[in-house]
Amino acid sequence: MKYKEMFVSVWIDQHLNFGQRTSSRVEGQHSVLKKYLQEKNYSLAKFVGAIDRFVKSQLTAINESFEKSMIVSKHEHRFSCFDLLRGNVSLKALDMLVEEIQRVHQVDSSNCGCKLQNSCGLPCACMLSAYLNSGECIPLESIDVFWRKLKISPSIPMEDEDICGDDKFEMFKETYNKQPEAVKKSMMRKLLDIFQPSKTHIREPAIQKNTCGRPSLKKQKQKQTDSINQAPRRRNFSTMPKFVEFNNRDPARHSSYITTIPDLNEIPDLKEEPDLNEIPDLKEEPDLNEIPDLKEEPQSCYNHRLIDEIQVMFHPYITHIQDVEGDGNCGFRAISVCLGYGENDWLYVRRQLLDELLSSYDAYARVFTDGIGELYTLLNFLESPAPKRYWLLMPETGILIANRFGVVLTFLTNQGSLTFFPLWKGPEEFLYHRVITISLVYGNHYVMVQLEGDCPLPTILAFWIRHKAPCAAGWETMFMSRLELYRQLKPYNPETPFITIEDLNGGVYLAIPKNMVA
């Protein structure tokens, strides 16, 4: 039985369950209900009455426990770090925290396991150790709302309410009028989808009910028609061929390079889409004797004028380099292109990153320790051209990009490249694990680089190892082979602006900026 409990806890302690480990809640409640049903044969009226008494007794017990949590103060809860929690969270949660404090002297951040954080939404031993050593109070926000709810709010019917949304509409109009044209179009399209659903571009996906046998020609044609009517999925990059013309800096006219609506849920105009389902005429035979005009041959990435600014190990994986306007916002323009927008949507990227910084300002202040004011100043500059002090700042901005857009960012330079994973979310929280790449060329200009296949992933920034949430550790495991490939191919460069150290777990190298080392 001992080992059975240990095996079960390995799985259960990694998922939020608030201490409830039973797999048959219905059976448990059924057995309690039988105590109220003293006879075997009950009429429907008596049966409903018994259930009513049963539910009311449970409600009374719950309210009693809530009152105790708000009034009673136990002696064992007299920790100074509990000052903000007493009377505001459940006594059961405080009891669990007291038990976890007993583990503080037995574990550290390397072997904590963070079981209480993952399974119950409460600070674990390594987090409690930091509060105890610093003398700070545990913030109420670090406790899951499950333990903070000490009152059952009765449901209020809305049938008799006079619902008036005039104030909400006024707020919407004020917000709408302040937005740029691209955002206005996106907001208006969403409104049209709500009150005119019959005119939306979104269609129900086609489902293949019969998976056996070859479909008939009629069904094949119907499938092609359905695929055309469906809103196409967003792609990471353009579907242009492997060898493209790089002299033109404008992005290709494709849904991946939308230059009007900076919205991840945007539905592109199907009139501008190439017909990907068009069946070529096989009767037309190519002229094998035709001599191609070499002057019209597309330029290879290896002949591109920026290829020498990128580390040689990445050259076999490069399929596209997108140059952008060098107005001081080139870093944000390159990120915009990586995300599938046009480079002119750089302002949207700046605002998103600024919102990301402000929404978790205290958390980022602990990550960056200093320089967060400089980061806020450069992100809050919304004009073009941008002076040098408002340029994209790496590696700080790279952390914001990975967290805000849920992507893996690789940053390439000849002096040293870096990989940025999301800090506080794991790979299981994202449907797609997108890897985007930008490169610093000539020491003062950013461009978008598209890499194909299982290309090497550069060194992980040490910020991530130190400040990542436990759930985010899966990123390193997922990309371990590609991180190890970079480690094997990386040449020694004494002029790199980063110092690399070995991970304590024997994993890949970590990178620390030299200017942060005393």
Query: Pick the residue with more confidence: 490 or 246?
Result: 490
Residue 257: per-residue pLDDT: 36
Query: Pick the residue with more confidence: 32 or 374?
Result: 374
| Pairwise CA distance, residues 149 & 82, whole Å | 17
Tokens 């978790």 belong to residue: 360
Determine whether 147 is exposed, middle or buried from the number of CB atoms within 10 Å of its CB (0-12, 13-18, 19+): buried
Rg (CA), the chain: 29
Q: pTM of whole model > 0.85?
A: no
Residue 334: per-residue pLDDT: 94
Digit-coded pLDDT (tens) for 36-73:
776 667 777 777 888 888 888 888 888 888 888 888 88
Residue 5, pLDDT > 80, answer no
Question: Who's near 368: CB < 8 A, 6+ residues apart?
Answer: 375, 396
Question: What's the pLDDT band for 286 if we cut at 50, 70, 90?
Answer: very low
- List, in sequence order, every residue forming a beta bridge with 126; answer none if it has no partner: none
Residue 46: per-residue pLDDT: 78
Residue 231: per-residue pLDDT: 40
Token pair of 112 as six digits: 């904590």
Per-domain residue ranges for the chain? 2-148, 301-516
Question: What's the pLDDT band for 206 if we cut at 50, 70, 90?
Answer: low
| Pairwise CA distance, residues 114 & 103, whole Å | 11
Per DSSP, the residues of 87-148 read TTS-HHHHHHHHHHHTTTTT--TTT---HHHHHHSS--HHHHHHHHHHTPPPPGGGS-HHHH
Digit-coded pLDDT (tens) for 7-38:
666 667 777 777 776 666 666 777 777 777 76
Residue 115: per-residue pLDDT: 81
Tokens 């002297």 belong to residue: 105
Digit-coded pLDDT (tens) for 138-193:
888 888 888 888 887 665 554 555 667 788 888 888 888 888 887 788 788 778 77
Residue 402: per-residue pLDDT: 92
Average pLDDT over residues 100-108: 80
Token pair of 219 as six digits: 């069904």
Is 72 within 8 Å of 91 (Cβ atoms)?
A: yes
Residue 465, pLDDT > 90, answer no
Most confident of 228-237, 290-299, 462-471: 462-471
Question: Who's near 408: CB < 8 A, 6+ residues apart?
Answer: 402, 419, 420, 421, 422, 433, 434, 435, 436, 457, 475, 479
Digit-coded pLDDT (tens) for 388-397:
889 998 888 9
Residue 161: per-residue pLDDT: 54
Residue 504, pLDDT > 60, answer no
Asked whether the CA dihedral 383, 384, 387, 388 is positive or negative, the reply is positive
Query: Pick the residue with more confidence: 360 or 261?
Result: 360
Question: What's the pLDDT band for 259 if we cut at 50, 70, 90?
Answer: very low
Residue 279: per-residue pLDDT: 44
Residue 447: per-residue pLDDT: 93
| Pairwise CA distance, residues 345 & 384, whole Å | 12
Is 267 within 8 Å of 189 (Cβ atoms)?
A: yes
| Pairwise CA distance, residues 270 & 255, whole Å | 9
Residue 276: per-residue pLDDT: 41
| 3-state SS, one letter per residue, for 156-185 | CCCCCCCCCCHHHHHHHHHHHHHCCHHHHH
Query: Pick the residue with more confidence: 481 or 290?
Result: 481
Residue 57: per-residue pLDDT: 85
Average pLDDT over residues 482-486: 89
CATH code given to domain 301-516 = 3.90.70.80
Determine whether 71 is exposed, middle or buried from the number of CB atoms within 10 Å of its CB (0-12, 13-18, 19+): exposed
Is 126 within 8 Å of 107 (Cβ atoms)?
A: yes
Tokens 């690789």 belong to residue: 410
Average pLDDT over residues 259-274: 43
Token pair of 32 as six digits: 């309690």
Residue 60: per-residue pLDDT: 87
Phi-psi region of 143 (alpha: psi -120 to 50; beta: other; left: phi over 0): beta
Lowest mean pLDDT of 183-187, 254-258, 502-506, name the range.
254-258
